[in-house]
Amino acid sequence: MDVLYLKKEFLKRFGESDKNIHIYFAPGRVNLIGEHTDYNGGYVFPCALSYGTYLLARQSDDQHIHLKTTNFDFSLHVSIDEINRKYDNEWVNYPLGVMNQFVNRGYGIKGTQMLFSGNIPNGAGLSSSASVEVVTAFALNDIQNTHIGIMELIKLSQKAENEFVGVNCGIMDQFAVAMGKKDHAIFLNCDTLDYQLVPLILNDYCLVISNTNKRRCLADSKYNERRSECDKAVEYLKTAKNIDLLGELTTEEFEKYQLLITDPVIRKRAKHVVYEIDRTKKAVEALSDNNLIEFGKLMNASHDSLRDDYEVTGFELDTLVEESRKIEGVAGSRMTGAGFGGCTVSLVHINKVTEFCLKVGEKYTLKTGLTADFYIADVADGVKRLV
Protein backbone atom coordinates (compact mmCIF):
# COMPACT_ATOMS: atom_id res chain seq x y z
CA MET A 1 0.00 0.00 0.00
CA ASP A 2 1.23 3.52 -0.84
CA VAL A 3 2.40 5.22 2.35
CA LEU A 4 2.32 8.68 0.72
CA TYR A 5 -1.33 8.11 -0.19
CA LEU A 6 -2.11 7.14 3.40
CA LYS A 7 -0.38 10.28 4.71
CA LYS A 8 -2.53 12.40 2.40
CA GLU A 9 -5.63 10.61 3.67
CA PHE A 10 -4.56 11.22 7.26
CA LEU A 11 -4.07 14.95 6.65
CA LYS A 12 -7.38 15.15 4.79
CA ARG A 13 -9.15 13.77 7.85
CA PHE A 14 -7.12 15.35 10.68
CA GLY A 15 -5.43 18.40 9.14
CA GLU A 16 -2.27 20.18 10.32
CA SER A 17 1.25 19.30 9.14
CA ASP A 18 2.59 15.82 8.49
CA LYS A 19 4.99 16.06 11.46
CA ASN A 20 4.86 13.47 14.24
CA ILE A 21 2.78 11.03 12.17
CA HIS A 22 3.98 7.49 12.82
CA ILE A 23 3.08 4.60 10.51
CA TYR A 24 2.74 1.00 11.64
CA PHE A 25 1.81 -2.30 9.99
CA ALA A 26 0.49 -5.59 11.37
CA PRO A 27 -0.12 -8.55 9.04
CA GLY A 28 -3.00 -10.93 8.74
CA ARG A 29 -2.30 -14.61 9.21
CA VAL A 30 -3.19 -17.96 7.73
CA ASN A 31 -3.13 -21.11 9.81
CA LEU A 32 -1.66 -24.02 7.87
CA ILE A 33 -2.96 -26.67 10.26
CA GLY A 34 -4.10 -26.89 13.89
CA GLU A 35 -7.61 -25.45 13.88
CA HIS A 36 -9.67 -24.82 17.03
CA THR A 37 -6.80 -26.18 19.09
CA ASP A 38 -5.41 -22.90 20.45
CA TYR A 39 -8.05 -22.29 23.12
CA ASN A 40 -7.71 -25.96 24.05
CA GLY A 41 -4.02 -25.59 24.92
CA GLY A 42 -2.82 -27.39 21.80
CA TYR A 43 -0.43 -26.76 18.93
CA VAL A 44 -1.01 -24.51 15.93
CA PHE A 45 1.06 -23.76 12.82
CA PRO A 46 0.28 -20.29 11.41
CA CYS A 47 2.29 -17.81 9.36
CA ALA A 48 1.96 -14.06 8.88
CA LEU A 49 0.90 -12.66 5.50
CA SER A 50 2.04 -9.70 3.44
CA TYR A 51 -1.37 -8.01 3.63
CA GLY A 52 -2.73 -6.64 6.84
CA THR A 53 -3.54 -3.37 8.64
CA TYR A 54 -1.74 -0.06 8.31
CA LEU A 55 -2.11 2.44 11.14
CA LEU A 56 -1.14 6.11 11.02
CA ALA A 57 -1.11 7.60 14.51
CA ARG A 58 -0.31 10.96 16.09
CA GLN A 59 -0.75 12.23 19.61
CA SER A 60 -3.14 15.16 19.93
CA ASP A 61 -3.34 18.04 22.38
CA ASP A 62 -6.93 17.30 23.40
CA GLN A 63 -8.18 14.53 25.68
CA HIS A 64 -9.96 12.66 22.90
CA ILE A 65 -9.48 9.55 20.81
CA HIS A 66 -10.10 9.99 17.08
CA LEU A 67 -10.63 6.73 15.16
CA LYS A 68 -11.09 6.72 11.38
CA THR A 69 -10.56 4.19 8.59
CA THR A 70 -10.36 4.11 4.82
CA ASN A 71 -12.37 0.88 4.83
CA PHE A 72 -15.70 1.88 6.44
CA ASP A 73 -17.84 4.98 6.85
CA PHE A 74 -18.14 4.70 10.63
CA SER A 75 -15.68 6.85 12.61
CA LEU A 76 -15.42 7.84 16.26
CA HIS A 77 -14.45 10.96 18.20
CA VAL A 78 -14.68 10.21 21.89
CA SER A 79 -13.34 11.52 25.20
CA ILE A 80 -10.69 9.40 26.88
CA ASP A 81 -13.10 9.02 29.80
CA GLU A 82 -15.65 7.34 27.49
CA ILE A 83 -13.53 4.71 25.71
CA ASN A 84 -15.13 1.93 27.75
CA ARG A 85 -18.32 2.13 25.69
CA LYS A 86 -18.89 -0.62 23.10
CA TYR A 87 -20.48 0.09 19.70
CA ASP A 88 -22.72 -2.60 18.17
CA ASN A 89 -20.89 -4.55 15.45
CA GLU A 90 -18.48 -1.70 14.67
CA TRP A 91 -14.79 -2.01 13.85
CA VAL A 92 -13.85 0.55 16.52
CA ASN A 93 -14.49 -2.05 19.23
CA TYR A 94 -11.13 -3.67 18.44
CA PRO A 95 -8.91 -0.61 19.09
CA LEU A 96 -11.15 0.49 21.95
CA GLY A 97 -10.75 -2.93 23.56
CA VAL A 98 -6.97 -2.56 23.39
CA MET A 99 -7.14 0.92 24.91
CA ASN A 100 -9.22 -0.39 27.77
CA GLN A 101 -6.56 -3.02 28.42
CA PHE A 102 -3.93 -0.27 28.65
CA VAL A 103 -6.11 1.56 31.19
CA ASN A 104 -6.80 -1.63 33.17
CA ARG A 105 -3.07 -2.25 33.45
CA GLY A 106 -2.42 1.27 34.73
CA TYR A 107 -0.71 2.65 31.63
CA GLY A 108 -3.43 5.12 30.73
CA ILE A 109 -4.28 6.56 27.33
CA LYS A 110 -3.38 9.97 25.88
CA GLY A 111 -5.25 11.89 23.20
CA THR A 112 -4.50 10.24 19.85
CA GLN A 113 -5.54 10.53 16.21
CA MET A 114 -5.61 7.20 14.37
CA LEU A 115 -6.28 6.28 10.76
CA PHE A 116 -6.56 2.56 9.95
CA SER A 117 -6.34 1.11 6.46
CA GLY A 118 -6.55 -2.62 5.86
CA ASN A 119 -6.16 -4.79 2.78
CA ILE A 120 -7.20 -8.08 4.40
CA PRO A 121 -10.48 -9.27 2.86
CA ASN A 122 -13.15 -8.46 5.45
CA GLY A 123 -14.65 -11.48 7.17
CA ALA A 124 -12.32 -13.88 5.35
CA GLY A 125 -10.96 -15.57 8.46
CA LEU A 126 -7.42 -14.25 7.94
CA SER A 127 -7.46 -12.46 11.28
CA SER A 128 -8.23 -8.86 10.43
CA SER A 129 -9.44 -8.38 14.02
CA ALA A 130 -6.14 -9.52 15.57
CA SER A 131 -4.27 -7.41 13.04
CA VAL A 132 -6.15 -4.29 14.18
CA GLU A 133 -5.70 -5.17 17.85
CA VAL A 134 -1.97 -5.84 17.62
CA VAL A 135 -1.17 -2.80 15.47
CA THR A 136 -3.12 -0.62 17.93
CA ALA A 137 -1.27 -2.05 20.94
CA PHE A 138 2.11 -1.77 19.21
CA ALA A 139 1.47 1.83 18.15
CA LEU A 140 0.22 2.98 21.56
CA ASN A 141 3.19 1.33 23.23
CA ASP A 142 5.54 3.16 20.88
CA ILE A 143 4.10 6.68 20.89
CA GLN A 144 3.33 6.64 24.64
CA ASN A 145 6.72 5.11 25.56
CA THR A 146 5.11 2.58 27.88
CA HIS A 147 7.85 -0.03 27.25
CA ILE A 148 5.52 -3.04 27.32
CA GLY A 149 7.17 -6.25 26.06
CA ILE A 150 5.88 -7.88 22.89
CA MET A 151 4.52 -10.92 24.75
CA GLU A 152 2.46 -8.69 27.02
CA LEU A 153 1.15 -6.80 23.97
CA ILE A 154 0.05 -10.14 22.51
CA LYS A 155 -1.76 -11.11 25.70
CA LEU A 156 -3.53 -7.78 26.16
CA SER A 157 -4.64 -7.86 22.50
CA GLN A 158 -6.19 -11.27 23.08
CA LYS A 159 -7.84 -10.00 26.27
CA ALA A 160 -9.31 -7.10 24.31
CA GLU A 161 -11.10 -9.53 22.01
CA ASN A 162 -12.16 -11.82 24.85
CA GLU A 163 -13.41 -9.23 27.31
CA PHE A 164 -14.43 -6.22 25.21
CA VAL A 165 -15.45 -7.62 21.81
CA GLY A 166 -16.86 -10.76 23.38
CA VAL A 167 -15.17 -13.48 21.34
CA ASN A 168 -13.43 -16.20 23.38
CA CYS A 169 -10.57 -16.61 20.91
CA GLY A 170 -7.34 -18.33 21.80
CA ILE A 171 -3.98 -16.63 21.48
CA MET A 172 -2.88 -17.95 18.08
CA ASP A 173 -4.06 -15.01 15.96
CA GLN A 174 -2.47 -12.27 18.03
CA PHE A 175 0.71 -14.32 18.45
CA ALA A 176 1.13 -14.95 14.72
CA VAL A 177 0.41 -11.32 13.86
CA ALA A 178 3.03 -10.11 16.33
CA MET A 179 5.72 -12.77 16.00
CA GLY A 180 5.60 -13.74 12.33
CA LYS A 181 8.80 -13.97 10.31
CA LYS A 182 9.22 -13.82 6.55
CA ASP A 183 9.31 -17.27 4.90
CA HIS A 184 8.68 -19.02 8.23
CA ALA A 185 5.71 -20.57 10.00
CA ILE A 186 5.27 -20.65 13.77
CA PHE A 187 4.95 -23.95 15.60
CA LEU A 188 3.29 -22.71 18.77
CA ASN A 189 2.24 -24.46 21.95
CA CYS A 190 -0.75 -22.35 22.96
CA ASP A 191 -0.64 -23.55 26.56
CA THR A 192 2.98 -22.68 27.37
CA LEU A 193 3.58 -20.18 24.52
CA ASP A 194 6.78 -22.02 23.66
CA TYR A 195 7.32 -21.67 19.94
CA GLN A 196 9.64 -22.54 17.09
CA LEU A 197 10.10 -20.66 13.82
CA VAL A 198 10.08 -23.30 11.08
CA PRO A 199 11.43 -22.44 7.59
CA LEU A 200 8.57 -22.70 5.09
CA ILE A 201 10.39 -24.45 2.26
CA LEU A 202 7.76 -25.50 -0.28
CA ASN A 203 10.05 -26.23 -3.27
CA ASP A 204 7.79 -26.54 -6.34
CA TYR A 205 4.62 -25.81 -4.37
CA CYS A 206 2.99 -22.66 -3.10
CA LEU A 207 0.15 -21.79 -0.75
CA VAL A 208 -3.03 -20.55 -2.41
CA ILE A 209 -5.69 -18.91 -0.24
CA SER A 210 -9.22 -19.17 -1.63
CA ASN A 211 -11.84 -16.80 -0.24
CA THR A 212 -15.42 -18.06 -0.25
CA ASN A 213 -16.65 -14.46 -0.05
CA LYS A 214 -19.28 -15.68 2.35
CA ARG A 215 -19.05 -13.24 5.23
CA ARG A 216 -19.06 -14.61 8.73
CA CYS A 217 -19.05 -12.62 11.93
CA LEU A 218 -17.08 -14.45 14.58
CA ALA A 219 -18.96 -12.95 17.49
CA ASP A 220 -22.26 -14.13 15.96
CA SER A 221 -21.02 -17.55 14.85
CA LYS A 222 -20.93 -20.76 16.82
CA TYR A 223 -17.32 -20.17 17.81
CA ASN A 224 -18.13 -19.51 21.45
CA GLU A 225 -20.47 -22.50 21.43
CA ARG A 226 -17.65 -24.79 20.30
CA ARG A 227 -15.42 -23.50 23.05
CA SER A 228 -18.14 -24.23 25.61
CA GLU A 229 -18.51 -27.75 24.22
CA CYS A 230 -14.79 -28.36 24.69
CA ASP A 231 -15.07 -27.21 28.29
CA LYS A 232 -17.88 -29.72 28.79
CA ALA A 233 -15.71 -32.48 27.35
CA VAL A 234 -13.02 -31.69 29.92
CA GLU A 235 -15.61 -31.98 32.71
CA TYR A 236 -16.59 -35.45 31.52
CA LEU A 237 -12.96 -36.58 31.31
CA LYS A 238 -11.98 -35.20 34.71
CA THR A 239 -13.67 -38.17 36.35
CA ALA A 240 -10.75 -40.30 35.12
CA LYS A 241 -7.90 -37.89 34.44
CA ASN A 242 -7.01 -34.60 36.09
CA ILE A 243 -6.89 -32.22 33.12
CA ASP A 244 -7.81 -28.59 32.54
CA LEU A 245 -7.60 -28.56 28.74
CA LEU A 246 -8.16 -31.09 25.96
CA GLY A 247 -4.63 -30.34 24.76
CA GLU A 248 -3.30 -32.31 27.70
CA LEU A 249 -4.63 -35.59 26.24
CA THR A 250 -2.76 -37.88 23.86
CA THR A 251 -4.66 -39.75 21.17
CA GLU A 252 -4.12 -42.96 23.13
CA GLU A 253 -5.62 -41.45 26.26
CA PHE A 254 -8.59 -40.13 24.30
CA GLU A 255 -9.29 -43.60 22.90
CA LYS A 256 -9.07 -45.02 26.41
CA TYR A 257 -11.40 -42.50 28.07
CA GLN A 258 -13.65 -41.23 25.27
CA LEU A 259 -16.73 -43.20 26.34
CA LEU A 260 -16.76 -41.22 29.57
CA ILE A 261 -18.10 -38.43 27.36
CA THR A 262 -21.66 -39.70 27.19
CA ASP A 263 -22.89 -36.94 24.88
CA PRO A 264 -21.93 -38.10 21.36
CA VAL A 265 -21.74 -34.54 19.99
CA ILE A 266 -19.36 -33.44 22.75
CA ARG A 267 -17.31 -36.59 22.14
CA LYS A 268 -16.90 -35.66 18.46
CA ARG A 269 -15.74 -32.18 19.39
CA ALA A 270 -13.09 -33.59 21.72
CA LYS A 271 -11.98 -36.13 19.12
CA HIS A 272 -11.29 -33.40 16.61
CA VAL A 273 -9.21 -31.37 19.05
CA VAL A 274 -7.05 -34.26 20.26
CA TYR A 275 -6.40 -35.68 16.79
CA GLU A 276 -5.89 -32.22 15.26
CA ILE A 277 -3.10 -31.56 17.74
CA ASP A 278 -1.51 -34.85 16.74
CA ARG A 279 -1.88 -33.98 13.04
CA THR A 280 -0.20 -30.62 13.62
CA LYS A 281 2.84 -32.21 15.21
CA LYS A 282 3.08 -34.70 12.33
CA ALA A 283 2.67 -31.93 9.75
CA VAL A 284 5.64 -29.99 11.16
CA GLU A 285 7.72 -33.18 11.05
CA ALA A 286 6.66 -33.79 7.44
CA LEU A 287 7.62 -30.25 6.45
CA SER A 288 10.98 -30.57 8.19
CA ASP A 289 11.55 -33.83 6.29
CA ASN A 290 10.64 -32.09 3.02
CA ASN A 291 7.70 -34.49 2.64
CA LEU A 292 5.10 -32.13 1.17
CA ILE A 293 2.84 -34.94 -0.01
CA GLU A 294 2.44 -36.14 3.57
CA PHE A 295 1.93 -32.55 4.71
CA GLY A 296 -0.89 -32.25 2.18
CA LYS A 297 -2.53 -35.47 3.36
CA LEU A 298 -2.58 -34.12 6.90
CA MET A 299 -4.19 -30.90 5.63
CA ASN A 300 -6.91 -33.00 4.00
CA ALA A 301 -7.50 -34.99 7.18
CA SER A 302 -7.72 -31.75 9.14
CA HIS A 303 -10.51 -30.40 6.95
CA ASP A 304 -12.41 -33.67 7.03
CA SER A 305 -12.33 -33.63 10.82
CA LEU A 306 -13.45 -29.99 10.94
CA ARG A 307 -16.33 -30.93 8.63
CA ASP A 308 -17.44 -34.18 10.27
CA ASP A 309 -16.46 -33.94 13.95
CA TYR A 310 -16.23 -30.22 14.71
CA GLU A 311 -18.87 -29.18 12.18
CA VAL A 312 -17.58 -25.69 11.42
CA THR A 313 -17.17 -25.80 7.63
CA GLY A 314 -20.41 -25.38 5.67
CA PHE A 315 -21.38 -25.76 2.02
CA GLU A 316 -19.15 -23.01 0.62
CA LEU A 317 -15.94 -24.11 2.33
CA ASP A 318 -16.62 -27.78 1.58
CA THR A 319 -17.26 -26.95 -2.07
CA LEU A 320 -13.96 -25.09 -2.41
CA VAL A 321 -12.05 -27.95 -0.79
CA GLU A 322 -13.83 -30.62 -2.83
CA GLU A 323 -13.12 -28.85 -6.12
CA SER A 324 -9.53 -28.05 -5.11
CA ARG A 325 -8.73 -31.68 -4.46
CA LYS A 326 -9.86 -32.59 -7.99
CA ILE A 327 -7.03 -30.56 -9.54
CA GLU A 328 -3.88 -32.50 -10.37
CA GLY A 329 -0.97 -31.01 -8.48
CA VAL A 330 -2.92 -30.16 -5.33
CA ALA A 331 -1.26 -31.93 -2.41
CA GLY A 332 -3.83 -30.83 0.17
CA SER A 333 -6.63 -28.38 0.88
CA ARG A 334 -8.45 -27.35 4.04
CA MET A 335 -10.48 -24.59 5.61
CA THR A 336 -8.49 -22.12 7.68
CA GLY A 337 -9.69 -19.89 10.50
CA ALA A 338 -12.80 -20.26 12.62
CA GLY A 339 -14.97 -21.55 9.79
CA PHE A 340 -18.61 -20.86 8.88
CA GLY A 341 -17.31 -19.07 5.77
CA GLY A 342 -13.97 -17.39 5.20
CA CYS A 343 -11.07 -19.07 3.42
CA THR A 344 -9.37 -22.29 2.50
CA VAL A 345 -5.64 -22.82 2.12
CA SER A 346 -4.31 -25.25 -0.48
CA LEU A 347 -0.85 -26.62 -1.25
CA VAL A 348 -0.63 -26.32 -5.04
CA HIS A 349 2.16 -27.15 -7.51
CA ILE A 350 3.40 -23.91 -9.04
CA ASN A 351 2.70 -25.19 -12.57
CA LYS A 352 -0.96 -25.75 -11.71
CA VAL A 353 -1.85 -22.46 -10.01
CA THR A 354 -3.50 -20.86 -13.06
CA GLU A 355 -5.54 -23.98 -13.76
CA PHE A 356 -6.43 -24.23 -10.08
CA CYS A 357 -7.81 -20.70 -9.90
CA LEU A 358 -9.76 -20.98 -13.15
CA LYS A 359 -11.30 -24.41 -12.66
CA VAL A 360 -11.99 -24.19 -8.93
CA GLY A 361 -13.42 -20.70 -9.35
CA GLU A 362 -15.70 -21.81 -12.18
CA LYS A 363 -17.04 -24.85 -10.33
CA TYR A 364 -17.47 -22.90 -7.11
CA THR A 365 -19.60 -20.24 -8.79
CA LEU A 366 -21.65 -22.90 -10.56
CA LYS A 367 -22.44 -24.65 -7.27
CA THR A 368 -22.82 -21.70 -4.88
CA GLY A 369 -23.64 -18.65 -6.99
CA LEU A 370 -20.72 -16.85 -5.32
CA THR A 371 -17.41 -15.71 -6.80
CA ALA A 372 -14.25 -16.87 -5.04
CA ASP A 373 -11.09 -14.79 -4.84
CA PHE A 374 -7.63 -16.37 -4.92
CA TYR A 375 -4.38 -15.15 -3.38
CA ILE A 376 -0.86 -16.54 -3.45
CA ALA A 377 0.23 -16.47 0.18
CA ASP A 378 3.33 -14.30 0.58
CA VAL A 379 4.69 -15.08 4.04
CA ALA A 380 5.85 -11.94 5.83
CA ASP A 381 7.13 -10.45 9.10
CA GLY A 382 5.02 -9.58 12.12
CA VAL A 383 4.00 -6.16 13.45
CA LYS A 384 6.45 -3.31 12.93
CA ARG A 385 6.86 0.45 12.67
CA LEU A 386 7.36 1.64 9.10
CA VAL A 387 7.96 5.38 9.65
Read off the pLDDT of residues 231-278 as tens digits, 9 standing for 90 and up: 999 999 999 999 999 999 999 999 999 999 999 999 999 999 999 999
Mean pLDDT, all residues of the chain? 95
Q: What ranges do the domains of the chain cover?
A: 3-197+381-385, 200-376
H helix runs in the chain, sequence order: 3-14, 93-104, 128-143, 150-159, 172-179, 223-237, 251-257, 264-288, 292-308, 315-325, 353-368
Which residues, other chains included, contact 280 with Cβ-Cβ below 8 Å and sequence gap of 6+? Answer: 33, 34, 37, 42, 43, 44, 45, 187
Which residues are catalytic, by number?
Answer: 173
Span 348-373, mean pLDDT? Answer: 98
Q: Which CATH number fits domain 3-197+381-385: 3.40.50.740, 3.40.50.300, 3.40.50.800, 3.30.230.10?
A: 3.30.230.10
The CATH class that applies to domain 200-376 reads alpha beta
Residue 312 near residue 36 (C-beta atoms within 8 A): yes
Share of the chain above pLDDT 90, in %: 89
Span 33-44, mean pLDDT? Answer: 97
pTM: 0.94
pLDDT digit string, tens, across residues 365-377 = 999 999 999 999 9
219 has pLDDT over 60:
no
Lowest mean pLDDT among 183-197, 208-222, 227-241, 368-382: 208-222
pLDDT at position 19:
83
pLDDT digit string, tens, across residues 100-129 = 999 999 999 999 999 999 998 776 778 899
Helix axes of 292-308 and 315-325: crossing angle, nearest 10 degrees: 150
pLDDT at position 268:
98
Span 73-86, mean pLDDT? Answer: 96
18 has pLDDT over 80:
no
193 has pLDDT over 90:
yes
Span 187-212, mean pLDDT? Answer: 97
pLDDT at position 215:
73
